[in-house]
Structure 1
Amino acid sequence: MALPAALAADLSTLLGDGWRVDDAARDAQGGDDSRRHARPDAVALPRTRDQVIALVRACRAYGVPLVARGAGTGTTGAAVPTQGGIAVSFVRMNRILDVRAADRCAVVEPGVLNGALQAALAPHGLFWPPDPSSADSCTVGGNLATNAGGPRAVKYGATRDNVLGLVAVTGTGDLIRAGGAYTKASAGYDLTRLLVGSEGTLALIVEATLKLAPRPQAQAGLRAFYRDAASAAAAVSRLMAQPVVPAMLEFMDRRSLALLRRNGSAVPDAGAMLLVEADGSADALPDILAALGAAAEGEGLLDLDVATDGAARDRLWAARRALSPALRSIAPGKINEDVVVPVSRIPDLVAGVEALADANALTSVVFGHAGNGNLHVNLLYHPDDADETARAHAALPRVFELALALGGTLSGEHGIGLSKRDFMSRAYDPATLAAMHAIKQALDPDGILNPGKLLPPLQTKC
């Protein structure tokens, strides 16, 4: 459906060369890593917050949808413009506005790349903790939209825990400010945490004040192999119960290890593996490592490796880095969902996924961030096999049902988008969903911001 001619003319004048209606630009901004794609009617590339305000107000007047975009590395279809309208790319709003080392914060625009921010912070001895696997290519705005995490979240928290303040434009075209360059506040509603993870459905973020952490002086690693997933989960509980919080705590199931062995990695035949990273001062690190090693030991431990220098740590983590490429050696099609369960229920999740895969003649691989109970469930299939593809997609709802039945939730870092939207009504009761819809209505009364994402349609009472 074509945009109203008057709106297109106004936005062309407003944005200049930041207004694109050619097929190449529209196609480039129509998809993400979910492999979904829908062409927007136009692409807007604003340079300033004033342009974003004017853009939202103009689109509200005509009822035209706006879908904010980062680098398109999301996996749930949250940035796919399924209802047409305008894709808003923040690639030109990519300035690091201020690094306030004394206040341990940085002020940035949403188009800044995560990796570029880390490089800019390094000379100050600081870093921003969120470290998704796409860190070199994803944007801070995209991290904010999905509440991205990564391995470091077990110690430092996900994106929401590392944001101090936001400036954003609501669906009414109003500029709102939440939080600021301070770490403690008890004044009003916490709009900062509300907006982080809202997937562009409540407001378009135009500036963020990020909470920074000191770069550790030293790092060391442990690699522990266990008889089964239950033994590994018990070790996770011990690791998280002692005073020293690991910087990273990753889990790989037996099928992950079997896949790595098949592809030439030197890992033993075990039921599960934990990768544990410690960080801290050079003086404290030996004691930290000893405490983590002691917690890793216990019933079901088969082998334990320790690495204190960079090259040795790289060897320990080589298996984790090799896993994603190895998945493609099984099948080119992959459904990857990041469910969360209580740590004590990790064995039940792994066993349940294995049973589900076996029942549907599929291959499953489970790995991820064990310290948070945030695991990536991979169902592998051949897209050119229609029957296998159908079985894989039919199994996906059962994965979500299993996670919820184990007292978990639908996502820990990827978000909801389109892929999990219809399961929100199983994760939340009607009253809770109604409260979420009320918030959406308050900030975006005409429903123009990323419509059709995150929230299922509101069920009205008869």
Structure 2
Amino acid sequence: MTESLSSTELKACREIFGTDRFLTDPADCLAYGYDNSRRVAMPQAVAFAANHDEIAALLRVCTEHRIPLTARGRGTNTTGASVPIAGGIVLTLERMNRILRISPGDRMIECEAGALNGDIQAAAAKHGLFWAPDPTSAGFSSVGGNLACSSGGPRAVKYGTARDNVLGLRAITGTGTSIKTGCYTTKGVVGYDLTRLLIGSEGTLAVITEATLKLLPKPEVTRTLRAAYRDVKSAAEAVARLMGQPQIPSALEFMDGDAVMLAQQHQDSGVPQGTGALLLIEADGAPDSIESAVRAISDAARGDGLIELRTAASSAEAEALWSSRKALSPALRKLAPKKVNEDVAVPVTRLPELIDGLGELSRRHSIRIVNFGHAGNGNIHVNLLADPSDAMQMKAIEACLHDVFKLVLSLEGTISGEHGVGIDKRDYVGWEIDADTLALMRQLKQVFDPQSILNPGKTLPP
């Protein structure tokens, strides 16, 4: 952890931001020392950036004096990626929230990194467009934060994650050098693809200040279906069938039996008795093609173990079908506020093996595991529930988590589908990425950030 900033360092920073946008009082800094991961680490100062040039000037000061700097959006990250574990300065981009321009004909919008996902969606919707990433936190998470972790959400199954929906970036490296990546067209192969390199790098290579986002036409019609199955194996096999036919769902969400039961206890949504797993499915498209899409999806959903398949006839019915999924997070928070929530992903055809394996690990470690998530991408949120005051249970959770990651990697999966690595998964990265590849990544880190001041201690293992 960095010692208190020297008078020289304070003077240099205040020359950039003034006293009202560079705060050092611990009471002011506390709110910027934690995120949704529940980790807390106090910074020595918080800087409120107003423009790109200020950030470049700050990074030059931080490089000169080797001051750790953690860039931050709205703190919705769940892996500790925006917690300043090395102290130093937290750079918040919350005031850089402008939409700079929108070009409906080019299907693109340009914004500052602090703009909210929800504001981008509202601006795009006026022109019949949308930006694909739709994380649960979309209403209050920033575009920069979405890009830092390459956010996805339910629509990623059809429309892709942040990496698939950005045309270019403006950013500043750890030396204070400004760079511009990508272009304003959907085709462009000049130079290396630094845009996709920076997206998902969690602020360890550069601070993203502006983004040019690729927009898509909003579908004219959406239909919602809910399929209840006897057990998780039947539901997982249905996912493989659904993703193996031409009509790709625009959302495909999975809930295991425990998740269904907890959601029902929180709010009755009419799930049939005996439901061991649930799929929530959306189809979208044009009015003249939606019925054929629903038929194809319904045919794929039918199979051994199906108890009930319901199709919403109105937006109110669609909301009712989704109510079980929306009730799940509040139910889990009430049951286990200290739960361990992992966001692993495996190839869709390996989902049955993953769900079976998680059931076996739950029995072996005597740990309750509740599974739900974005089944169409093979991205399952694995929730390990335990009493944090019970030392034996917490020890069992650690052993169980190790086995969860080993299971996922044995199925050709990844330990993080969309939440990112941060600090929580950093020490497991070497399980997934081989030593030679990690060595090359560390070399890249040195090129972008030779003094290692950008979000130190995150993403790559020591």
Check whether TM > 0.5: yes
Residue of structure 1 in register with 2:288 after alignment: 283
1:294 partnered with 2:303: no
CA distance in 2, matches of 1:2, 1:262: 50
In structure 2, the gaps of 5 or more residues are: none
Contact kept in structure 2, 1:332 and 1:383, CA below 8 Å? no
Residue of structure 2 in register with 1:430 after alignment: 435
The equivalent position to 2:51 in structure 1, one of 48, 51, 60, is 48
Q: What secondary structure does 1:400 align onto?
A: helix
1:202 partnered with 2:205: yes
The equivalent position to 2:13 in structure 1, one of 11, 16, 21, is 11
CA distance in 1, matches of 2:398, 2:392: 10
Contact kept in structure 2, 1:332 and 1:381, CA below 8 Å? no
Q: CA deviation at 1:105?
A: 0.4
Larger CA deviation: 217-226 vs 321-330? 321-330
CA distance in 2, matches of 1:176, 1:125: 32
1:454 partnered with 2:459: yes
Q: Please list the CA deviations of residues 309-350 of structure 1 after superposition, one character each: whole Å capped at 9, or x if unmatched.
A: 100100110100011111134333211110011112212222
Q: Please list the CA deviations of residues 178-200 of structure 1 after superposition, one character each: whole Å capped at 9, or x if unmatched.
A: 11211011111100000000000
The equivalent position to 2:75 in structure 1, one of 72, 75, 80, is 72
Larger CA deviation: 288-297 vs 169-178? 288-297
- Report 1:34-433 matches (<5 A): 34-265=37-268, 266-268=270-272, 269-433=274-438
Q: CA deviation at 1:429?
A: 0.7
Residue of structure 1 in register with 2:445 after alignment: 440
CA distance in 1, matches of 2:431, 2:394: 24
Contact kept in structure 2, 1:149 and 1:157, CA below 8 Å? yes
Q: Please list the CA deviations of residues 27-49 of structure 1 after superposition, one character each: whole Å capped at 9, or x if unmatched.
A: 11111111001000101111011
Q: Please list the CA deviations of residues 211-261 of structure 1 after superposition, one character each: whole Å capped at 9, or x if unmatched.
A: 001111111011112222222222212211222211000111122122233
Q: CA deviation at 1:361?
A: 2.7
CA distance in 2, matches of 1:355, 1:238: 24
Q: What secondary structure does 1:250 align onto?
A: strand
CA distance in 2, matches of 1:80, 1:394: 25
CA distance in 2, matches of 1:208, 1:331: 37
CA distance in 2, matches of 1:169, 1:442: 13
Contact kept in structure 2, 1:229 and 1:346, CA below 8 Å? no
Q: What secondary structure does 1:136 align onto?
A: coil
Which residue identity is paired with 1:287?
A: S
In structure 1, the gaps of 5 or more residues are: 458-462
Q: Please list the CA deviations of residues 323-380 of structure 1 after superposition, one character each: whole Å capped at 9, or x if unmatched.
A: 1111134333211110011112212222222222233332210010011000000011
Larger CA deviation: 227-236 vs 421-430? 227-236
Contact kept in structure 1, 2:267 and 2:324, CA below 8 Å? no
Q: What secondary structure does 1:143 align onto?
A: helix
Q: CA deviation at 1:382?
A: 2.2
Larger CA deviation: 65-74 vs 254-263? 254-263
Give runs of ≥4 in structure 1 deviating > 4 Å.
none
Q: What secondary structure does 2:36 align onto?
A: coil
Q: What secondary structure does 2:167 align onto?
A: strand
Q: Please list the CA deviations of residues 432-460 of structure 1 after superposition, one character each: whole Å capped at 9, or x if unmatched.
A: 10111111111111111011100012xxx
CA distance in 2, matches of 1:368, 1:395: 19
Contact kept in structure 1, 2:266 and 2:327, CA below 8 Å? no
Contact kept in structure 1, 2:166 and 2:212, CA below 8 Å? yes
Sort the Cα spacing of 1:99 and 1:395 in 2 relative to 1 into closer, same or farther, 3 A.
same
CA distance in 2, matches of 1:134, 1:346: 26
Q: CA deviation at 1:264?
A: 4.7
Contact kept in structure 2, 1:70 and 1:138, CA below 8 Å? yes
Q: CA deviation at 1:305?
A: 0.5
TM-score (norm 2): 0.96
Q: CA deviation at 1:301?
A: 1.8
Q: CA deviation at 1:384?
A: 3.0
Q: What secondary structure does 1:111 align onto?
A: coil
Q: CA deviation at 1:405?
A: 1.4
CA distance in 2, matches of 1:446, 1:308: 59
Larger CA deviation: 18-27 vs 154-163? 18-27
TM-score (norm 1): 0.96
CA distance in 2, matches of 1:302, 1:208: 46
CA distance in 2, matches of 1:308, 1:200: 44
Larger CA deviation: 259-268 vs 85-94? 259-268
Which residue identity is paired with 1:267?
A: V
| Aligned-residue RMSD, C-alpha | 1.3
Which residue identity is paired with 2:412?
A: G
Q: CA deviation at 1:122?
A: 1.5
Sort the Cα spacing of 1:100 and 1:398 in 2 relative to 1 into closer, same or farther, 3 A.
same
Larger CA deviation: 340-349 vs 445-454? 340-349
Q: What secondary structure does 1:384 align onto?
A: coil
Which residue identity is paired with 1:136?
A: G
